[in-house]
Amino acid sequence: MIDRARVVVIGGGIGGCSILYWLARLGWSDVALVERSELTSGSTFHSAGLVGQLRNSLALTQMMMNSVDLYRTLGEEVDLETGWREVGSLRLASSNEHMEELERQAAWAETFGLPLHLISADEAQSMFPPMSTEGVRGAALLPSDGYVDPSQLTLALARGARQRGATILTNTRVTGVRVEDNRVRAVETDQGTIECEYVVNAGGIYAHEIGLLAGVHVPLVAMAHQYAITKPTGLSRDMPTLRDPARLVYFRAESGGLVMGGYERNPSVWGLGGIASDFNSRLLEPDWDRFAPLFEAAISRVPELADAEIVTLINGPEAFTPDGEFILGESAVAGFWVAAGFCAHGIAGSGGMGKLMAEWIIDGQPSLDAWALDSRRFGPQYRSRQYTLIRTDEIYATYYDVKYPGHERQAGRPLKVSAVNARHRDLGAAFGEKSGWERVNWYEGNADAGDESTRPDGWAGMLWSPAIGAEHRACRESAALFDESSFSKLDVSGADAAQFLERLCANGVARRVGAVTYTQLLNPRGGVECDLTVTRLADDRFRLVTGTAFGNHDGAWIRQHLDDDSVLVEDVTSKYACFALWGPRAREILQPLTESDLSHEVFGYMSAKEINVGAVPCLAVRVTFVGELGWELYCPSEYALGLWDSLMAAGAPHGMVPGGYRAIESLRLEKGYRVWGSDVTTTDSPFEAGLGFAVKMKKGEFIGRDALERAGEPTRRLACLVLDEPRSLVLGSEPVRFEGRALGRVTSGGYGYSVQSSIAYAYLPAQLVVAGTRVSVGVFGRDVGAEVMAEPLFDPENARVRA
C-alpha cells in the first residue's frame, strides 16, 4: 500500500491500464492504479477483441489509429504477447443505402489517412470464405484493422506502466473520494487512504457509482452484450473481421471457429439499481431468446453457422452512454477525471484514449479535438438514470443503422421546450432536438411558399422541406423571426469580471457598457476552446451567449480559470427567452412596438440596450448570425409568449415569417459565419479559421496569445468553396482534392438559397486559399468540381448588417 501518488487511476480494465501506461510513458511515474479485484476482471476479460478504426470524425478515427499504432509494437516493447493480429476488416453493404454509406466512409478514410479500399462481393468472399455473397453490393476493406486478446493487451499495458515506475494495487477497493473546496484530495480504499492531486475514474460499468463517491454523475448504463463462439471447423485465424451492418452482426475468427455477435433491436439494461460488490470475473446468464434474431441474421450471411456447434454464448455487461461515445475529461470537481462508457469499442479505442487522457491531464489539453468525447457535453438532465437509460437504449438499438443528415433522435422527447412551443406546433413546426431542447428546424406551414425544384440530390434531400428556402428568402427580402431561446447564456459578474474576461478572451471585451464583442477563448496552444459573444451589461457584469450545446463546456472552461470567488459565473439560460428578428424590414417591424430609438445612429451594430417592446422588458442586442439587420431580443421567460405574439402580429403585414434553424444554417453559410465544433475546433487557431479580425494581439496578455505569436503565419486556412453542381451538397468530412490529391476535408456545407450555390468550407494549404483556385470535392464517390471563393459570398460589404 502507498499513501501518496500524484494521480490515482481507479479501475484495472483496459481503460485504466492504458491511462496509467501513457501517464508513465509521458513522464509522470508517480502514478498509481487501484483495482478492487484482479486486472481485467471487469468488462475487459469478456470482450470479443475486435479493433476497428473508422469513426465519423478525424479526431475519433485518429484516436483509434493511435490505438493500432500502439498495439503493433506494445508486445515487443514490454515482452508480452498481446495477441494483436492485423488481419484487416471487411464491412459489407447489403443494401443500396449501405453501399452509399460505404462510399461516404471511403471518402472520410481518405482524408483521415486511414487505408480503405472498396471491393466487390466476390473479393470479400475470397478473404472471408464462409460468407455468402447473397445481396452484397460491395464491401470496404480496411487492411490495418484487426483483433487482439483483450486480457493480454491489458496486462501488457500494466507491465509497460510498471516498467516506467507506476504502482498497481489489486484487491484494493475504493470506498470514498475525499473532496475539499471542490478539489480532489485523496481516495479512500479498504487498504488505506492515498493522497493525490488527480483521480481518474476508469471504472467501466461501475464508473457511475464511483463518480457518486465524489458527487459526480457519470451518465452511463450497463447493457448486456452477447456473442457466440463456435467450435473449430478449420477456419483460418487470419481471415479479416467482418461486419454486416444491415444484419446488425459482426464476426471474427477464433481458434478455427467463429466469434459472432451483434446489436439487438431490444437491448437489455443491467444493474441499473446497483451492481453487486463482488461482480468481477463473472458473466451474465446467456439470453438465447434475445440472441435468436441476430443468430438467424448471421446464418443468412454465414450459412455454415446453421450447423455449427456453439461452444458458448457470452453475455457480458458493458458501459454505454446516451450518444454512443466515450465520456472523457475533468468533472465539475477539480482534479476528478472520468474515462468510461466505451460503448463496446473500448478495446479498439483505449490505446489512443489513454494517450489523449494523459496529454489532457499533463498538458491541460489533448493534442486531438476531444469535443465529441468531452464529459461536458452532457447537461444536468443526465443526472436522471431513467433519462440516461432511454437515450442510451435508442443508441444501442440503432447502432448499425444508416443515419441520414438531419436525422433527429426520438428518445426522451420532448424534454426542454421554449415558452412559445405551442405556437411553434400550431405553425406546423418540424422539431429537431439539441441538448434536450426542442428547436424548430422549419415550419411546414411555410412549405407552400418554397421551391420544390431546389431539393438537394441524394441523402441531403431526404430530410428536407421547401420551407427552408422560403424562410431563407423571407429573411433576406423582408424579415424572419427565429426562436433562439435554447442558446446558452452565461452571466459573468463581480468587481474583477472585466479583468478576468480580458485574460480569457482573444478580443477586447472590457469596452463601454452596451458594447457587444464577438470573441474566441483560446487554450494555451492557441486553439479555439469557445466561440461566443460578450455583451457588457454593467461595469461589473457581462452576458456571454454561446451555442445551445456548448453552455456546459464553455461555463466549465471559464470557471476552471477562476482564481477565487471574486468573479461569479452563472448559467442564466432558463431565465430568458430569446427571439431573433432579422431582415431588411426588422427596424420597420420593431420600431412601432418600442419607445426606444432604433435608428442606426442611436442603436448601432454590435451594441445592446434595455428596451421595452410593448410592455415587455427586453435586452435588445444588435447582432446577427444571418447577415441581416436585426436584433436578438432577450426577455424574462414569463414574458416570452406576449413578445412572440406581438412580434408575429407586427411582422405579418411586412411579409415576415417564422424561421427555423435549417434556414439559419443556409443564411450563415453564405455569410461565412463559422460554427464551433466543426469549422473551428480546439486544434484550429483563429487565424487559420479566418477569425483573425477578432483577435487583439496588442491588447496585452491573454491565454493563447504566446502560442499565436510563436505560430506566425498560418500554413493552412479555412477556405470557402462553391461546387459546380448546385444540387450536390456536402455533408461533412468529404475530401477536397487539388490536382487529384486530397489536401483538405469539408468542415461544413450546404445550400445557399440567395447565392443559389452549394457551399462548402474546408481547411486547405494557405497558398491554395486564393479566389479562383480550382479543386474538386468527393461527393458519394464522384469528384465534383469546385472553386475557392472570396468571402463572404453574400453582401461582402456588410451593408445590410450596418443598415
Ligand X SMILES: Cc1cc2nc3c(=O)[nH]c(=O)nc-3n(C[C@H](O)[C@H](O)[C@H](O)COP(=O)(O)OP(=O)(O)OC[C@H]3O[C@@H](n4cnc5c(N)ncnc54)[C@H](O)[C@@H]3O)c2cc1C
Taking the least distance from each CB to ligand X, the nearer of 73 and 175 is 175
Query: In this structure, are residues 153 and 71 in contact, taking their beta carbons and an 8 Å threshold?
Result: yes
Q: Which residue's C-alpha cell is 462553391?
A: 722
- What grid cell was written down for 116? 480503405
Q: Is 239 in the site for ligand X (CB under 6 A)?
A: no
330-349: which residues touch ligand X (CB under 6 A)? Answer: 340, 342, 344-348
Q: Indicate which single residue of 227, 542, 579, 603 sits in contact with ligand X (rule: CB under 6 A).
A: 227
Which is catalytic among the residues 98, 208, 225, 424? 225
Q: Pick the stretch among 199-207, 484-492, 562-570, 603-611 that binds ligand X (CB under 6 A).
A: 199-207
225 in catalytic set: yes
Q: Pick the stretch among 10-18, 265-273, 363-371, 704-712 that binds ligand X (CB under 6 A).
A: 10-18
Query: In this structure, are residues 184 and 8 in contact, taking their beta carbons and an 8 Å threshold?
Result: no
Q: For the chain, give the longest Cα–Cα distance.
A: 85
Question: Considering CB under 6 A, how many residues would be counted as binding ligand X?
Answer: 41
User: Phi first, then psi: what are they for 89, rounded to 5°?
Assistant: -140, 150
Query: In this structure, are residues 590 and 490 in contact, taking their beta carbons and an 8 Å threshold?
Result: no
Helix/strand/coil (H/E/C) assignment for every residue in 503-551:
HHECCCCCCCCCEEEEEEEECCCCCEEEEEEEEEEECCEEEEEECCCCH
Q: Is 314 in the site for ligand X (CB under 6 A)?
A: yes
* Residues 6 or more apart whose Cβ sits within 8 Å of residue 624: 582, 630, 801
CB of 152 to ligand X, least distance (A): 13
Single-letter amino acid, residue 351: G
Q: Is 321 in the site for ligand X (CB under 6 A)?
A: no
* Dist CA 781 CA 103 (whole Å): 6
Q: Which residues pair with 746 in a beta bridge?
A: 762
Give the HSE-up count for residue 733: Cα atoms under 13 Å, Cβ half-sphere.
22
Q: Is 208 in the site for ligand X (CB under 6 A)?
A: no
Taking the least distance from each CB to ligand X, the nearer of 68 and 474 is 68
Fill in the DSSP letter of residue 427: T
Closest by Cα among 650, 707, 383 to 522: 707
* Dist CA 308 CA 299 (whole Å): 10
33-72: which residues touch ligand X (CB under 6 A)? Answer: 34-37, 41-44, 46-50
* Dist CA 803 CA 632 (whole Å): 16
Q: Is 12 in the site for ligand X (CB under 6 A)?
A: yes
Within 10 A of 697 (CB to CB), how many other CB atoms are there? 12
Q: Pick the stretch among 20-28, 29-37, 327-335, 375-383 that binds ligand X (CB under 6 A).
A: 29-37
- What grid cell was written down for 449? 411558399
Q: Indicate which single residue of 203, 526, 583, 630 sits in contact with ligand X (rule: CB under 6 A).
A: 203
Sort strands 741-752 and 735-738 into parallel, antiparallel or unpaired.
Answer: antiparallel
Q: Which residue's C-alpha cell is 510498471?
A: 162
Fill in the DSSP letter of residue 77: H
250 in catalytic set: yes
Q: Is 204 in the site for ligand X (CB under 6 A)?
A: yes
Q: Is 191 in the site for ligand X (CB under 6 A)?
A: no
Taking the least distance from each CB to ligand X, the nearer of 351 and 792 is 351
CB of 148 to ligand X, least distance (A): 9
Q: Is the dihedral of CA 746, 752, 755, 757 positive or negative?
A: positive
* Dist CA 456 CA 470 (whole Å): 15
CB of 203 to ligand X, least distance (A): 4
Q: Indicate which single residue of 112, 128, 198, 206 sits in contact with ligand X (rule: CB under 6 A).
A: 206
CB of 644 to ligand X, least distance (A): 46
Which is catalytic among the residues 145, 323, 374, 531? 531
Q: Pick the stretch among 12-20, 264-272, 646-654, 775-783 that binds ligand X (CB under 6 A).
A: 12-20
424 in catalytic set: no
Q: Is 210 in the site for ligand X (CB under 6 A)?
A: yes
Taking the least distance from each CB to ligand X, the nearer of 75 and 614 is 75
Taking the least distance from each CB to ligand X, the nearer of 202 and 635 is 202
Kindly list the catalytic residues: 225, 250, 531
Binding site for ligand X (CB under 6 A): 10-16, 34-37, 41-44, 46-50, 173-174, 202-206, 210, 225, 227, 280, 314, 316, 318, 340, 342, 344-348
